[in-house]
Each structure stands twice: as structure tokens, then as C-alpha cells.
């Protein structure tokens, strides 16, 4: 090889190394290298929420994720692969239950619904202490734990089963067991325990109760959904407006107490970080409340406040969406050392779909965000229908690094549930456009 050729090759190599170094330096601290924007489908508008590529359509994904849930046992706080066995059924499982039922109903799959109902009936028929409620545990409500709210949401599922079966003409005597069980949880959430041992880890329980809120109020952003979802299901099951009033009032409290910036919310008063999944609970809670509130004028103040906050949040989220269609573990602009987190991203996508479906959000603007979010999620969905990059269970943290360094799980029910919600909402939207 000639000296001239060697010099040329050396120059090319050095130039390449320099370019690589410069590129790496440019991405360090400014962002995880973004995945490319999901490829557009030929002939389909970028805001289309009905037509999707094969294996990315909501029917394929929804049935796959729900079938996986039916085959699965109890999680350990959402973690399906934990070596520890949970002693109580907590909120990630319940959110997955609701998502599975919602999808089954939207898809018109009665067999799927019936199999889910049969799976739930295990709670009524056995004394296995790894599930709830069993005969011994159900008598011990309220909980002694400071996270009682994470357990009480259990009541939302039997209330939903009761509501659907009643709509389908089931005899009251055959379904009243679901109503009675669910209302025990919903009513207890507003009844201050007389035995102080139940509230010793909730020092503000009496204060909140005396102001008309749940004694389980803790002002962690995810608790807002746990409380309001249960009360909303009680309203649907009974028609008693006291339940929806409780839920609406509780949501306003959290909106007041956890304001962040630009429409996103703090994890807790002591944790002023814009955690994605925490904000996801608020993102899905607000449109759920909007579509359940009665049309009576007495609810107008609740409706207008929630709608304004919801629109503000959606606008900010649309601006912070990564090129991949997902959002970071913490929601900040240009904070790319935050990895793409799928549970919060799925919740945001679900909230956008509901907004477009109900006419609260512009179809072209937010339909494009939602479609991009749904397709982005598919890049993390394995062939066995487990979603990757789900933030592990996370309490209120005290540092940026705490959230950045949280462990990533695969198949965790926080993510599985949110994917089911998206599949349900997209399926329902497609049904309406037929």
C-alpha cells in the first residue's frame, strides 16, 4: 500500500472517529438517542386511530395481552416475575382487571368476559391467603397499613362485574354478591375507623375525613386514581350520586395540592418531580371523570375545572413526546438521560384517545400524538405480549437520580394494564366509526 493511500485512509479513519466522538458528545446529557418515528402506514393519515398495521392493531394486541392476564396469577405489586408471592391483591392487578374487562366488552367478546368473571370468582370461593378477599381478610377492613388505598381499589372490579351483568339482564339474586362486596370497599373508604390503630400511620386521616374527603387521602398523585376509580364504579353500579360527588371533590383536591408546571403534576408535596406514571394516573383519571360526571348543572364547576386542567396537561404532553412516540421516565423538555418509560406513555396515549373520542381534543393534532404513542409502544411489546421498560413500583423520591435509576421491568401489570386500556379505547373508537 502506498504512503499516499495510507495517509488518505488514516485521514478518513480519524475523521470518522472525530465525527463519532462529536456525535456521542452531542447526545450525552441531551437525550437517549431517539428511536426513529414509527413508520407511517401508506394511505393512512398520521392522526388515524382506526387503521393500523398487522400485529399492531388493537384487536391483536388487546386479545394477546388479555389472554396473557387470564393465564397469569397474582402479581407482587405489579411484578409478574417476582420470586415473592404477594399476600394481598393490590392496585396494579385491579387496574389490569378493569382493562381486561373493558377490552372484552368493547370487542364484543362475551367468551372473554365470561372467562374473566370466572377468574374473578376465585376470590369469592377460596380461602387462599395469597388473594383477597378471603373470609378472614375481608373482615379486617380497614387496613392497618399506610397504603390502604392501594388495597381498597379492589372493590372496583366486583362493582364493574355487577354493573355489566345487570345491564345484560342478570337476576339480582345472582349478582348481588358482587355489589355487596364492592360497596364494602367503597363505603369503608369514607368511614373513619374508630380504632386508632388503623390510622396511626395516616396522621392526617381525621383532618381529611372532617373536610369531606377520604380518610385514606395521602396526596401521592397515584392515590387520586385509586380513590376516584373505586367511587366512580360505585356510582355506576348504584346510581347514587354521593359516590361521584366524592370522586369529583377528591380529584379537585389533588389538582389543588399537587400543581406542577405547564399542566403536569408533582409526585407528592415532598417529591416535586414530574414522574411519568404518576402523571399518567392524573392523565387517565381526568377524562374518566369527565365522561362519568352527570350532566346536571350542579357538576358544572367540577367539569369546567377538570376539563381545563386536562387540556392543559395534554398540550404539554404533546410537546414533550419523544420522536419514538413515548415519553421519558421524568417529564421534562430536553432531558434525554431519562429513558423511555412504557406505563406512563401508555397512560398518556390512552388519555389522548379518550380526548379525541369525546371531542375534547382536536382530532388531527392529538390523534397524531396518540397514534404515534400507540405505534411507539409496539416497539417495546414482545411477541408474548409482555411490555418492556416498565418502571418498577415507585414511592415518592427525593432526587432526580432516584427516578432516573429506577429498575425497568418486563410484563409488569402497571404497563400491561395501560396497554389494555389503549386497546379498549381504540376498539371502542373503531366501533363508533363503523
Q: What are phi and psi of 271, to 5 degrees?
A: -130, 80
Q: Provide the CATH topology of domain 63-432.
A: Glycosyltransferase (1.50.10)
- pLDDT (0 to 100) of residue 351: 98
Residues 352, 299: Cα–Cα separation, whole Å: 23
Q: Mean of the pLDDT values across residues 400-410?
A: 96
Each domain of the chain, given as residue ranges in start order, spans: 63-432
The C-alpha cell 406542577 sits at 260
Residue 275 three-state SS: strand
Give the bridge partners for 268, in sequence order: 271
Question: What confidence tens digit (pLDDT) does each residue in 94-106 have?
Answer: 999 999 999 999 9
Q: What is the mean pLDDT of the chain?
A: 87
H helical segments located in 321-399: 342-357, 363-378
d(CA 200, CA 195): 9
Percent of the chain that is helix, strand, coil (3-state, to 5): 60, 5, 35
Beta strands in 284-392 (DSSP E): 327-328, 340-341, 390-391
Q: Residue 190 — very low, low, confident or very high, per pLDDT cuts 50/70/90?
A: very high
pLDDT at residue number 335: 59
Check pLDDT > 50 for residue 2: no
Distance CA 226, CA 153 (A): 6
Sequence-distant (≥ 6) Cβ neighbours of residue 141 within 8 angstroms: 152, 184, 185, 188
Model pLDDT, residue 27:
25
Residue % of the chain over a pLDDT of 90 = 71
> Which of the two residues, 254 and 203, has the higher pLDDT score?
254
CA torsion, ordered 351, 352, 356, 361, to nearest 10 deg: 100
Q: Mean per-residue pLDDT for 155-182?
A: 96
Q: Vertex 145, ends 141 and 149: CA angle to 5°?
A: 70
Choose among 201, 331, 348, 321: nearest CA to 266: 331
- DSSP code for 397: -
Work out the average pLDDT over 1-20.
39
Give the predicted TM-score (pTM) of the model: 0.89
Per-residue pLDDT, averaged over 165-169, amounts to: 97
Encode 159-226 in three state secondary structure. Answer: HHHHHHHHHCCCCHHHHHHHHHHHHHHHHHCCCCCCCHHHCCCCCCHHHHHHCCCCCCCCCCHHHHHH
**Which pLDDT value is given to residue 35?**
56
Mean pLDDT of the 84-102 span: 89
DSSP string of 42-105, one letter each residue: TT--TT-SS---TTSSHHHHHHHHHHHHHH----BTTBTT-SSPPSS--HHHHHHHHHHHHHHH
**Burial status of residue 402 (CB atoms within 10 A of its CB: 0-12, 13-18, 19 or more):** middle
Confidence grade of residue 275 (pLDDT, cut at 50, 70, 90): very high
The larger pLDDT score, comparing residue 93 to residue 11, is at 93
264 DSSP β-pair partners: 261
**pLDDT tier, 188 (very low <50, low <70, confident <90, very high otherwise):** confident
Rounded-to-integer distance, Cα 193 and Cα 148, Å: 12
For 203-236, write each residue's pLDDT tens digit: 898 999 999 999 999 999 999 999 999 999 999 9
Q: Look at residues 310, 207, 330, 315 and name the one whose alpha carbon lies nearest to residue 252.
A: 310
Answer whether the bond into residue 179 is a cis peptide, omega within 30°: no
Amino acid at each position: 500500500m502506498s504512503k499516499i493511500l495510507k495517509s488518505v485512509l488514516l485521514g478518513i479513519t480519524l475523521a470518522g472517529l472525530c465525527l463519532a466522538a462529536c456525535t456521542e458528545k452531542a447526545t450525552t446529557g441531551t437525550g437517549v438517542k431517539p428511536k426513529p418515528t414509527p413508520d407511517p402506514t401508506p394511505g393512512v393519515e398520521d392522526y388515524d386511530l382506526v387503521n393500523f398495521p398487522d400485529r399492531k392493531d388493537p384487536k391483536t394486541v388487546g386479545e394477546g395481552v388479555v389472554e396473557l392476564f387470564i393465564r397469569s396469577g397474582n402479581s407482587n405489586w405489579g411484578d409478574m416475575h417476582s420470586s415473592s408471592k404477594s399476600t394481598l391483591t393490590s392496585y396494579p392487578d385491579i387496574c389490569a382487571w378493569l382493562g381486561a374487562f373493558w377490552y372484552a366488552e368493547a370487542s364484543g367478546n362475551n367468551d372473554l368476559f365470561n372467562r374473566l368473571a370466572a377468574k374473578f370468582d376465585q376470590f369469592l370461593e377460596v380461602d387462599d391467603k395469597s388473594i383477597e378477599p378471603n373470609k378472614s381478610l375481608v373482615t379486617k377492613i380497614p387496613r392497618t397499613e399506610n397504603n390502604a388505598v392501594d388495597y381498597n381499589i379492589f372493590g372496583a372490579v366486583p362493582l364493574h362485574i355487577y354493573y355489566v351483568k345487570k345491564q345484560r339482564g342478570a337476576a339480582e339474586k345472582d349478582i348481588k354478591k358482587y355489589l355487596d362486596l364492592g360497596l364494602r370497599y367503597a363505603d369503608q373508604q369514607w368511614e373513619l375507623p374508630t380504632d386508632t390503630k388503623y390510622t396511626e400511620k395516616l396522621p392526617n386521616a381525621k383532618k381529611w375525613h372532617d373536610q369531606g374527603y377520604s380518610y385514606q387521602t395521602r396526596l401521592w398523585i397515584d392515590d387520586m386514581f385509586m380513590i376516584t376509580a373505586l367511587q366512580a364504579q360505585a356510582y355506576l353500579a348504584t346510581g347514587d350520586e354521593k359516590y361521584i360527588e366524592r370522586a369529583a371533590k377528591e380529584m379537585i383536591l389533588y389538582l389543588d395540592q399537587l400543581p406542577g408546571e405547564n399542566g403536569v403534576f408533582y409526585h407528592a408535596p415532598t417529591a416535586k418531580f414530574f414522574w411519568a406514571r404518576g402523571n399518567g394516573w392524573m392523565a387517565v383519571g381526568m377524562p374518566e371523570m369527565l365522561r362519568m360526571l352527570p350532566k346536571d348543572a350542579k357538576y358544572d364547576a367540577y367539569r369546567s375545572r377538570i376539563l381545563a386542567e386536562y387540556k392543559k396537561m395534554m398540550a404539554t404532553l404533546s410537546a414533550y413526546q419523544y420522536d419514538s412516540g413515548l415519553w421519558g421516565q421524568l417529564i421534562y423538555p430536553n432531558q434525554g438521560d431519562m429513558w423511555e418509560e412504557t406505563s406512563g406513555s401508555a397512560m398518556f396515549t390512552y388519555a389522548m384517545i379518550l380526548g379525541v373520542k369525546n371531542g375534547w381534543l382536536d382530532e388531527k393534532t392529538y390523534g397524531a400524538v396518540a397514534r404515534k404513542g400507540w405505534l411507539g409502544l409496539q416497539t417495546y411489546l414482545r411477541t408474548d405480549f409482555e411490555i418492556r421498560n416498565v418502571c418498577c413500583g415507585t414511592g415518592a423520591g427525593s432526587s432526580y437520580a432516584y427516578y432516573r435509576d429506577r429498575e425497568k421491568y418486563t410484563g409488569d401489570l402497571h404497563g400491561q394494564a395501560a396497554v389494555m386500556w389503549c386497546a379498549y379505547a381504540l376498539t371502542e373508537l373503531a366501533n363508533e366509526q363503523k
